[in-house]
Structure 1
Amino acid sequence: MTILKFICSITLALLLTVSFVRAAPKESLITSLPGFNGTLPSEHYAGYVTIDGSPGKKNLFYYFIASERNHSNDPVVLWLNGGPGCSSFDGFIYEHGPFKFQAGKPKGSLPVLHLNPFSWSKVSNIIYLDSPCGVGLSYSDNQKNYVTGDLQTTSDSLAFLLRWFELYPEFLSNPFYISGESYAGVYVPTLASEVVKGIQLGEKPLINFKGYMVGNGLTDEKFDGNALVPFAFGMGLISNDIYEACQTSCVGKFYDPPSDTCDQNLQKVLLAVSGLNLYDILEPCYRNSETKYESGNTSMSLSFHQKGVDRKPLPKRTRMFGQASPFWTVKDAGISSSKSQDEFHVECVDDEVAVAWLNDEAVRKAIHAAPASVAGPWWICARRVMDSYSRDAGSMIPYHKSLTSQGYRVLIYSGDHDRRVPFTGTQAWTRSIGYKIIDEWRPWMTNDQVAGYLQGYDNNFTFLTIKGAGHTVPQTKPREALEFYSRWLDGKPI
């Protein structure tokens, strides 16, 4: 080889290297945020990834936070909230995002943002994605794209990921994990499965996928539907007589009552628990904005959203224990939507801080989101998606079996005081997979205190509970959540 050819080959190699290691898009960089005075602890980026729809385009909104520890080496984690049809800003604002949001004073002013000492961006790069299209700040130029389901959501999320890594190629070598909670118990394993298929086919960009994590996730109609009765009995919410009557009349089929007698006994269970907070039986249900902060019976910081009461009694349902979604639709739950046909407030959840912040046009401009006149107002869950959503993926257990058998790491965790997706069902289905127990049921600790319990299985499959936590674990137990999250990502024992 001549010297000239050698120099040319080196130059070409350098050019190719530069083309795959370029800086994140500068137009997506966030320089300031309304409500926050101070320096951001790491770089924040936000904006839209546009993918093909049918017809038209789908604009999926994301907010990306570079790790405060070591963004070059720390994992990249995708976070998805559930619903189906609820915004991942629920996780950003109320759970493990970089800020605590304090209601503004006087009433009606923007929330005040303080740094969150238990943010998951302390130890990881994290992407919050509003998915599917039509949820949160994501939107389309054609409303037909809001008619979707499990499989279409998976396809769109995969298209988003591939495009996102093209925009941020410097993170391609980082370990990548998918995480989420609630109905993301469907989103996460289905998306993980498609990512793995792409890796096996050599699809570019090649994602360095390592595993996934699901919290209080919907998984299987039978196991989830059978969970409430033993949960209610174990928590002392129903009597021995009610429990034994259910056992006898339902013969183990709480998710699909086999008789009128079974249905009547299940109604007694629902009546017994109907006054409790769906998402955390330890927390009160506040009745309205005037009285919601009066109770002292809560340890939850007011910087996180509080809970509200059911607007109407829950309807009698033929398959009341096998509901497909942790967040029922407006029709099922009788949730008020008087101000606007698109307005949606989840029962037992006060979303006022998030609604105020994300519907402020200065905030939207700062985070590169489309104005309400284009994307629509932000609600914690989007009726335009929920009312026509198709649950077409089936049970998630086959997905979990396939992914774990291929060596991917999996953490399934449950707040043990969640009534919506009780840990009893999750514990049962994780056990049903049949893997050998390699870390027998034991407490795990933070600050020399029992934080929950853990059972480790073969094939890098772990089930973990968080003591005293509800449906949204990082909201009620932020210190403990960061503890197990960081240890699991780092491959350390929990």
Structure 2
Amino acid sequence: MVPLIYCSLFVLLLLHPISEGAPEEALITQLPGFNGTFPSKHYSGFVTIDESKGKNLFYYFVLSEGNPTKDPLVLWLNGGPGCSSFDGFVYEHGPFNFQAGRKPGSQPQLLLNPYSWSKVSSIIYLDSPAGVGFSYSNDHNDYTTGDLKTASDTHTFLLKWFQKYPEFLTNPFYITGESYAGVYVPTLAFEVANGIKAGVKPMINFKGYIVGNGVTDKEFDGNALVPFAHGMGLISDDLFQEVSAACQGNYWNSSNEICEDKLKKVDEDISDLNIYDILEPCYHSPEIRSITSGSIRLPSSFRQLGETKRPLAVRKRMFGRAWPLRASVRDGYVPTWPQLLGSNSVPCTDDEVATTWLNDEKVRSAIHAQQKNVSGDWELCTGNINFHHDAGSMIKYHKNLTAQGYRALIFSGDHDMCVPFTGSQAWTRSLGYKVIDEWRAWTFGGQVAGYTQGYEQNLTFLTIKGAGHTVPEYKPQEALAFYTRWLAGQSI
């Protein structure tokens, strides 16, 4: 006969299997600005990836609101480079909708987000690399880094994180991100896949990855804007024919003077549009358009960004998303947005909600972040790192990973002019895989929500109709819909 005490323990483990391995000191019990019950458990803290240097990466972990023992586990990465993944947490698909305080600088209020991606998956929001968000190192030489080192460090983070949370090792694991995470995601996925082949422990149950409006390849990205502008009716047929003839399809690094002259006309025609969503209105008031002193080397469209009627409007911001028009990411040093602007005073940005909340000492204490005297102020996108693009084109990574059988979803908000869908559509087609699901509409709520094309090797390309650069921010319901279907292996 089994003693009653062991029977009781067994029942408790069945009822609460997730909490057994998770570190209790990482449990979040309350959040300033939120007056309610968490829909699932939240954990946060640091993983030290280099003891000798005190190199620490910060994570915020949201358990699935469904069945966390079986639902997919997802890592989310924002881009920049240099941008915190709290960007996704606060403004895109985190568990809360943030509402600005009644007075400037006052505490934001948090409400539950009905379209959080934690409805169907557990999510790790990671600040990476060190020097970004709450992540830091005691050796500031670590803030000089690049694609390959970031991927290696994040792989180390994952291995150590799973040692803290071993109960999630059997969950299907996916790597996701947007914008410059179009580089972070495939390079990390490659590291993880190689670790699995080498038998590195703990063994991660890696299944695939998702990239949204992602930086990928200098030629495909750099050549995407002109066809996009023409297809969207932003430039005339005559100008399109002239620039096509002059540039011969090479819009990103032409040394042809006539080509450059035509490209200037293209830039002039689109300069007053909202680069992150051409459907959104732009701010034209003198206060918002005022430019601070400093060397501003960006198109005027970056200074006139749009708004929506959502409770927390889509941000009027240019900071940390991707690159100026046609300036695709090339090998070598990659300037962060503060470095690009030549000034710490960023014009026309509004990240007050996230900045106010995450720099509140009570919030930092509640989520187990270091105080400001250790890791400094939280910034959405930092200029503290010196970052180098040293992984080259991502196409070879995508080819390698999909050839190994890993699932891949490449999605694009179809009205983003920053990383236009035309480039993503072109490079996915360039992989040469056979089309097994011909271009068709996908629907949500009985309406066309975008278009998709499926390839062999589990590769899917998807557009979201009417969405901008940060798809879940513009189209939260549709984003949750395609995310849910894809994770479940269903047809989108």
Regarding TM over 0.5, the answer is yes
Q: Could you tell me which of 442, 445, 448 is aligned with 2:443? A: 445
Cα distance between partner residues in 2 of 1:434 and 1:368: 47
C-alpha deviations, 1:273-308, integer Å up to 9, x for none?
Answer: 12112211112233679779xx9x854413244214
The AA in structure 2 aligned to 1:334 is L
Q: Is the 8 A contact 1:226 1:321 kept in 2?
A: no
Shift of 1:256: 1.1
Q: Is the 8 A contact 2:337 2:381 kept in 1?
A: no
Q: Is the 8 A contact 2:215 2:329 kept in 1?
A: no
Q: Could you tell me which of 298, 310, 316 is aligned with 1:301? A: 310
Confirm or deny that 1:377 pairs with 2:384: no
Aligned length: 455
Q: How does 1:99-138 map to 2 (within 5 A)?
A: 99-138=96-135
The AA in structure 1 aligned to 2:328 is G
Q: Is the 8 A contact 1:214 1:412 kept in 2?
A: yes
Confirm or deny that 1:361 pairs with 2:361: yes
Cα distance between partner residues in 2 of 1:141 and 1:367: 21
Q: Is the 8 A contact 1:288 1:308 kept in 2?
A: no
Shift of 1:107: 2.4
If the length of structure 2 is used for normalisation, what is the TM-score? 0.88
Shift of 1:329: 3.5
Q: How does 1:457-468 map to 2 (within 5 A)?
A: 457-468=455-466
Shift of 1:336: 4.3
Q: How does 1:29-40 map to 2 (within 5 A)?
A: 29-40=27-38
Unpaired runs of at least 5, structure 1: 1-19, 339-344
Distance 1:93 1:148, change over 3 A: same
Cα distance between partner residues in 1 of 2:339 and 2:24: 44
Cα distance between partner residues in 1 of 2:73 and 2:284: 39
Distance 1:64 1:114, change over 3 A: same
Shift of 1:410: 0.5
The AA in structure 2 aligned to 1:198 is G
Shift of 1:241: 2.0
Partner of 1:197: 194
Confirm or deny that 1:95 pairs with 2:92: yes
The alignment's C-alpha RMSD in Å is: 2.3
Cα distance between partner residues in 1 of 2:156 and 2:220: 31
- Specify the SS of the correspondent of 1:193: helix
Distance 1:362 1:31, change over 3 A: same
Distance 1:289 1:160, change over 3 A: farther
Partner of 2:173: 176
- Specify the SS of the correspondent of 2:35: coil
Identity %: 61
Distance 1:366 1:93, change over 3 A: same
Q: Is the 8 A contact 1:284 1:307 kept in 2?
A: no
C-alpha deviations, 1:77-96, integer Å up to 9, x for none?
Answer: 00000011111000000000
C-alpha deviations, 1:15-58, integer Å up to 9, x for none?
Answer: xxxxx9942000000000000000000000000001117x7121
If the length of structure 1 is used for normalisation, what is the TM-score? 0.88
- Specify the SS of the correspondent of 1:128: strand
The AA in structure 2 aligned to 1:372 is K
Confirm or deny that 1:337 pairs with 2:334: no
Shift of 1:69: 0.3
C-alpha deviations, 1:389-415, integer Å up to 9, x for none?
Answer: 100000000100111011110000000
Confirm or deny that 1:216 pairs with 2:213: yes
